[in-house]
Amino acid sequence: MNGDAVKVAPPVIKPSGATKPARVVAVVADSAAARAGVAVGDELVSINGEAVRDVIRYQLQADEPSVELEIRRGGLEHICAVEKAAGEPLGLELDSAVFDRVRTCDNHCPFCFIYQLPKGMRKSLYLKDDDYRLSFLYGNFTTLTRFTEADLERVITERLGPLYVSIHATDPDVRTRLLRNRRGATSLRWLAALLDAGIEVHGQVVVCPGVNDGTVLDDTMLGVADRFPQLATVGVVPLGVSAHSNEEEMRPHTTAEAAAVVDCVERWQSRFEAALGHRLVYAADEYYLLAQRPFPESEAYDGFAQHENGVGMARTFEAEVARALTGDATEGIRPKSGFFAWVDGVRPDGYRVATAATPVTLRSSAPAVDAAPVTILTGEYGAAVLEPLVAALAAHARVPVHVRPVANRFFGGNIAVTGLLTGVDVADALASVPGGERVLLPDVVLSQGRFLDGMTLDDLPRSVETVPTDGASLVAALR
């Protein structure tokens, strides 16, 4: 988010109801839209004469040098003519990425994390989407069980890729069981159609012990090789089981089960590389941590295409730190802001826009302290990645650097990724940090300035500095 955007209200995606115009919740100062007189609270009725139903069409129309906005203000409609450079952002933050309504998910996957949320969180977090548009915009995984011929035509016509598809199993019966939806048996036909049309698609397999691991996972890899070899990548990730899950069949992996998944993935990587020229399938970092095995070398990730899915994050971060310590200013890969980033609105600077990897302090009210020790708060998995780097980071900073893993008591279970940390758990961890230390917190725990439990940085018992979640930014913050 640009620093000069005027925040008015936290944006919310509306899952149902009549189609409504998108509402402007912020206007960037001195932007093209601001110069044209667009104001917070205006409703966007049409753009260049088209009543757009999502931000994909909005973005295509807004990229034009001459843009005609039909807005509604106080019940009256106005025309705002905008002249700008082609591709220059309008500078509007809208209340939703989908103006008609989000296509909700009609699956009932026993491992679905939405079902495992505790009660009392903000309503937008409980919305299960299965919308290909959010897959394109945010990298959300869709099962394609609600995909249609019209959707296929639009994706192909507008070349809406990459898309991200949840496979889970290629056996129809197993996939139906996992999705708890009879359309799960046939909906992968849309995946074949997308691939045949040349759309870039990345797949995902969430592995549930005793359900789709073992021989089923092996069969799924065989199914990918036989039916979907055009897939760009396939990420194999473990299920998360929070303390709020009601599914007795769902449980975390044992060390042996995690090792078996890694063995299966690496076996198929060799086969795919021999047949296709690339490894195609990759295991999430979490599997290597669970199996107590070293991460593969960076070259084994073939460009880190599933970085956002937790595949290769550790090696990426390690390489970013190493480059930054030698003075290389190369920017790191910035994860999106939080696990539920898509529910929190529309960036005014457009989509798929690289954000500079520089530290951002959202709140730091404590007086400056020379040579103060540093504590880095992070999730338990993040701590496991950071610990081997602490000595080099401390030598660079010339102060003691400590990594403090924050246990996720809010969700409980095996939830240990940094992006799911909540304010209450961060606050508890801060209580044991000595008062004279600087505290750094990865910004991936925040979305629109809020933790998942609704807390903000102002609710914490002491000041912290938020740092973009990449190695280059961490090194810069320490320096």
Global pTM?
A: 0.85
Residue 224, both tokens = 């990918």
- Tell me the β-bridge partners of 401: 374
**Alpha carbon separation from 4 to 31, 92, 141 (Å, rounded):** 10, 12, 32
DSSP string, 441-459: EEGGG-BTTB-TTS-BGGG
Task: Evaluate if residue 451 carries a pLDDT over 70.
Answer: yes
Query: Higher pLDDT residue, 408 or 103?
Result: 408
Architecture field, domain 22-94: Roll (2.30)
Measured distance CA(41)–CA(25) in Å, rounded: 6
* Half-sphere exposure in the Cβ direction for 433 (13 Å, CA): 28
Residue 424, both tokens = 């209450």
Q: What is the dihedral of CA 92, 94, 99, 104, to 10 degrees?
A: 140
Q: Are strands 233-238 and 201-207 parallel, antiparallel or unpaired?
A: parallel
What would the mean pLDDT of 434-454 be, rounded to a whole number?
91
DSSP character at residue 343? G
Residue 386, both tokens = 């950071």
According to the model, what pLDDT value does residue 18 have? 45
Of the pLDDT bands very low, low, confident and very high (cuts 50, 70, 90), residue 360 is very low
Chain segment 199-223, per-residue pLDDT in tens: 999 999 999 999 999 999 999 999 9
**Core vs surface per residue 109-118: b (16+ CB within 10 A) or e:** bbbbbebbbe
What would the mean pLDDT of 191-203 be, rounded to a whole number?
98
Give CATH for domain 114-311. 3.80.30.10
Which of the residue ranges 43-47, 255-259, 330-334 would you say has the lowest mean pLDDT? 330-334
What would the mean pLDDT of 410-419 be, rounded to a whole number?
94
Report CA 247 to chain centroid distance, whole Å: 25
Chain segment 9-45, per-residue pLDDT in tens: 333 344 444 457 889 999 999 899 999 999 999 999 9
Q: Residues of the chain with pLDDT > 70: what percent?
A: 87
Q: Where are the domains of the chain?
A: 22-94, 114-311, 374-478
CB 67 within 8 A of CB 84: yes
What would the mean pLDDT of 409-431 be, rounded to a whole number?
95
Chain segment 45-73, per-residue pLDDT in tens: 999 999 888 989 988 888 889 999 999 99
Chain segment 282-331, per-residue pLDDT in tens: 999 999 999 999 999 999 999 999 998 999 999 999 999 999 999 876 65
According to the model, what pLDDT value does residue 355 have? 33
